[in-house]
A and B are shown apart, each in its own frame.
Chain A
Amino acid sequence: MRVVGIETEYGITDPGNPGANPILLSSRLVQACRVWSGNSATRWDYGGEDPLMDLRGMRRERRYATADLLTDSPEYSEANRGVTLRRRRGSWEDPAHVNAVLANGARFYVDHAHPEYSGPEVTSAHDAVVWDVAGDRISAAAAAQMRADGDDVALYKNNVDGKGASYGTHENYLVQRSVDFDDLARRLTPHLVSRQVVVGAGRVGLGQFGQQAGFQISQRADYIEAEVGLETTLRRPIVNTRDEPHADRRRWRRLHIIVGDANSMEVPTFLKVGTTSLVLSAVEAGDERLDVLELADPVAEVSAVSRDLALRYRMRLASGESATALEIQRALVTIARDYVSDEADARVIDRWERVIDALGRNPFEAARDVEWVAKLQLLGRMRERYAVLDADGTMILPDWDDDRLQAADLQWSELGTGLAARLSAAGAVERIVSDADIERAMTTPPSTTRAWLRGRMVSQRGDVVDAASWSTIVLDRDSEHGHLEVLTLPDPLVTSHHLVDTLLAEAGPAHTPTRD
């Protein structure tokens, strides 16, 4: 059982006004999300960030908040688990940095020039899918609210605009602090480079600006330029070094993976999180079988693998041998199998192996499970449809820079009415979670992590909650509003806290959501 979470930055447009300011659009969307939530959403507690972390990787607004925090240094009691006091933060909110902490434990906010849904902490690949798809539906509901209020907006769950911009879908994994970071990066990298053949979302266009016509496996591949680094917006690394665990930093690090694609299908999200978590278990155990998979030039191989639709490209290994992405994935299944700890892990291995086998036989056999294949199949069909006959009767297919193919690639991931959503509705792709579970996860937090405390406090005790973050809940119970109490929750797996439990009990049992 590993704590994981997914963050998604959505593409955002005003269909009637392409020049609309994306920061304002995103800000309105978050405001609309608050309205959708019945104004139960709460603010973000920037004080919950750890001021001792490496500042170079922080977001700008957190840097400002840290200065504010330091003047009101929280005094922790009971070894970081008690309640502490600090001065109330101003009630003014910067519209460019507006936040909504939701009843399901997620954070919905403006990040740079995109709306971002950061899902609550979960403990299985299955739950990661449930609360990720719930985020898509919350975002779509916020967009519907915004349209009802007279502002048009469309959201896209992709990572590129084809004009040079990329925005991320990040995975977070809680990893033991005791693992040497260099070993972690070295042993995990072959998986991050090769897994795209299983979980890539597919992209029309080659190069950061789509300057070359073609179809490739991964949205994100052409934007990865370093092996390891702290940056997330330039010289993006395969393994990111941001060290902000949102947990007891003596025990944990939060591994922040930025190389992955946004997925509009459930199986890729399930496998992306499930396989990476199992490989991390092998890394934590110091499994030396991973060493033979080390790549000679991992950065170059990310885009080389992404361009190889036949899955025959051989990567050069550090040992001098070579291997295809599928061969590396197959070797990783064999290793990962030894780290299966429960039925949920076993389902990951089973699905992973079946997808690899299908891809190995004929990639199109995996079209129901693998997003780039599903997209390639649809767009391939589209090329046949728009083919023209030349003078001697030969059929000429439109090239990949045809506007209709590029438009379909973008429309693939549109929330609500996108092509992926329509294929799913038509039963053409595998579903692994139920609509009932997703519906419930829009307003209910996972019961296996501290999100269970955060989300219920937001929905049931909005009267006393001033703000919240991953590791804090800020209470405002003083009748004069003169003091805020900061409740710290450094253990992501804590699901009970005496004060929270008391406050929730006061709210009465009628509102308590059923625990899984």
Chain B
Amino acid sequence: MPQTTSSSSPFEDDAPEPDAPAAPAAQANTDALDSLLDEIDDTIQTNASQFVRSFVQKGGQ
């Protein structure tokens, strides 16, 4: 899969562009996202691989 290389489009190539100017609510959301990402940064940088590998479930319904 080709890398998406534009910093303004962090999503898939066919993903919607956030083209509308950021509304105040959207800005508040962005702040919430950033502080959440700050909180989990350390753990996710160090433990992600092992966590993903060990998350194994049995099939259900």
Contacts and interface: CB of A to CB of B under 8 A. Distances in A.
B60 to A, nearest CB: 3
B57 A161 contact: yes
A221 to B, nearest CB: 16
Given A113-B58, A165-B59, A362 B12 contact: no
A239 to B, nearest CB: 15
Contacts of B52: 162, 403, 406-407, 410
Interface string A1-33: 000000001011100001000100000000000
B47 A426 contact: no
9 contacts: A12-B57, A112-B60, A114-B60, A166-B59, A233-B61, A311-B16, A364-B26, A403-B49, A419-B36
Interface string A392-407: 0011110110011011
Contact of A310 (B14, B30, B56): B14
Count chain A CB atoms within 10 A of each CB in B6, B54, B58 and give the residue with the most.
Answer: B58
B61 A111 contact: yes
A404 to B, nearest CB: 4
Interface residues of A, number: 67
A18 B54 CA distance: 6
A361 interface: yes
Interface string B11-36: 11011101110000110111011111
A76 to B, nearest CB: 30
A408 B40 contact: yes
Contacts of B41: 385
Given A400-B1, A408-B44, A428-B28, 5 more contacts: A163-B56, A233-B59, A367-B26, A403-B52, A422-B39
Which bucket holds chain B's interface residue count? 35 or more
A397 B3 contact: yes
Contacts of A166: 59-60
A381 B37 contact: yes
Contact of B60 (A113, A382, A410): A113
Contacts of A406: 48, 52
Contacts of B35: 426
Nearest to A164: B59
Interface in A160-195: 161-168, 170
B55 A410 contact: yes
B56 to A, nearest CB: 5
Given A381-B37, A406-B48, A362 B55 contact: no
Across chains A and B, which 5 residue pairs bring their CB atoms closest together, nearest first?
A167-B60, A18-B54, A113-B58, A407-B48, A428-B32
Interface stretch (A210-218, A243-251, A457-465): A210-218
Contacts of A170: 61
A87 B57 CA distance: 38
Interface stretch (A145-153, A316-324, A372-380, A446-454): A372-380
A411 interface: yes
Given A9-B61, A403-B52, A362 B16 contact: yes
A378 B40 CA distance: 12
Contacts of B32: 423, 426-428
Contacts of A419: 36, 40
A233 B60 contact: yes
A483 interface: no
A363 B19 CA distance: 10
A368 interface: yes
Nearest to B2: A399
B27 to A, nearest CB: 11
Contacts of A394: 5
A361 to B, nearest CB: 7
Given A381-B33, A407-B48, A395 B7 contact: yes
